[in-house]
Homo-oligomer: A and B are copies of this chain.
Amino acid sequence: MEMKMGSFRGHAIPGSFFYFMGLWWSTKHILKYACKKYKRSCHFKSKASFCRTDLLEGIIMISMALFGMTVEQFVPEGPYLTLYDYKEGHWKQLTSWHHGTMYFFFGLAGVTRILCHIYRSLPGSLPKLMLSNAFFVEAFIFYNHTHGRDVLDIYVHQLLSLVILVTAVLTFIDFMRSNMILALLEASFLLLQGSWFWQIGFVLYPLNGGPAWESTDHNNMMFLTICFCWHYAVSLTVIGLNFAFVTWLVKSKLKRFCPTEVGLLKTAEREQESEEEM
């Protein structure tokens, strides 16, 4: 039972982290988009504040990574920083070390973000590349996370690996050629990753103490396939609602401060322009 709680927690913590990151990044990109669209009328000091945001993001990513690594090592059944049990002659809790390695690369991406904020001589797109890198490493780890396990276990982790790989590729494309919609798509895959982590927890380590799902039933896999799609549909809906809400907020705030000019800008051509600029 204790073991189960630990394994559930091991999926719930990264799940929550990634869901939070997805929500935050989608909000940030929508804000940027909305601010840019209306910037010609009312220039908020948005550039400076987005800059400060980078610093904050870096610190949050490092904190999350450190928290995750500590929890993985020092829970009751954890490896306590030992890698090999020489007495009994086997590796110690390698899944915890897997999760820890994953956190480490996100921490590294956070460090890069802060360094690029402080030292202007570093290339500006480096943090994006390191983030893409962290996702590639995560996809690699989860793809190789299930040597010698059950079919169902392997399948849910393969789906996880798939969504992480897609996120990594999208981040890489975003690094090569910045694009607002791609960034939102990337955020939607982050949300999917977050909620799928939770789903894996519920499937493999049910909290009510019941047994895990039948591992050899093909129908379970058929169901998890569409379940995955439904998670994705929810992610897209969340991004859509977030877009509507943030755009409405920016608009209404603009109306209060500089009400006369907003209307003048609503020509399709100018908006097209501002989209391409991003």
Q: Which B residues touch A236, using CB under 8 A?
A: 108, 133
Proximity bits, A156-199, B CB within 8 Å = 1, else 0:
00000000000000000000110111000100000000000000
Distance of A10 from chain B, by nearest CB (Å): 15
A: which residues have CB within 8 A of B?
33, 37, 83, 90-91, 94-95, 97-98, 101, 104-105, 108, 120-126, 129, 133, 137, 140-141, 144-145, 147-148, 176-177, 179-181, 185, 218-223, 225-226, 228-230, 232-233, 236, 243, 247, 266, 268, 271-272, 275
User: Is A185 a contact partner of B104 (Cβ separation < 8 A)?
Assistant: no
Contacts A37-B121, A94-B222, A101-B229 supplied; 16 other A-B pairs, CB < 8 Å: A91-B222, A98-B225, A105-B229, A108-B236, A120-B266, A121-B247, A121-B271, A122-B243, A124-B272, A129-B185, A137-B229, A137-B232, A141-B225, A144-B225, A176-B177, A176-B179
User: Is A218 a contact partner of B271 (Cβ separation < 8 A)?
Assistant: no
Q: Which B residues touch A91, using CB under 8 A?
A: 219-220, 222-223
Q: Which B residues touch A220, using CB under 8 A?
A: 91
- CB within 8 Å for A129 and B98 given contacts A218-B148, A221-B144, A229-B141: no
Chain B residue nearest in CB terms to A144: B225
The 10 closest A-B pairs by CB, nearest first: A148-B218, A144-B225, A147-B218, A94-B222, A91-B219, A101-B226, A147-B221, A101-B229, A123-B275, A120-B268
- CB within 8 Å for A180 and B123 given contacts A94-B219, A101-B230: yes
- CB within 8 Å for A144 and B101 given contacts A129-B181, A181-B125, A275-B123: no
Q: List 5 A-B contacts (CB under 8 A).
A: A97-B223, A101-B229, A108-B236, A123-B181, A129-B181
A37, A97, A272: residue with the most chain B Cβ atoms closer than 10 Å: A97
Chain B residue nearest in CB terms to A162: B140
Candidates B95, B101, B223; contact of A94 at CB < 8 Å: B223
- CB within 8 Å for A108 and B140 given contacts A120-B266, A120-B268, A126-B181: no
A177 and B33 CA atoms in complex are apart in Å by 20
Candidates B90, B121, B133, B247; contact of A219 at CB < 8 Å: B90
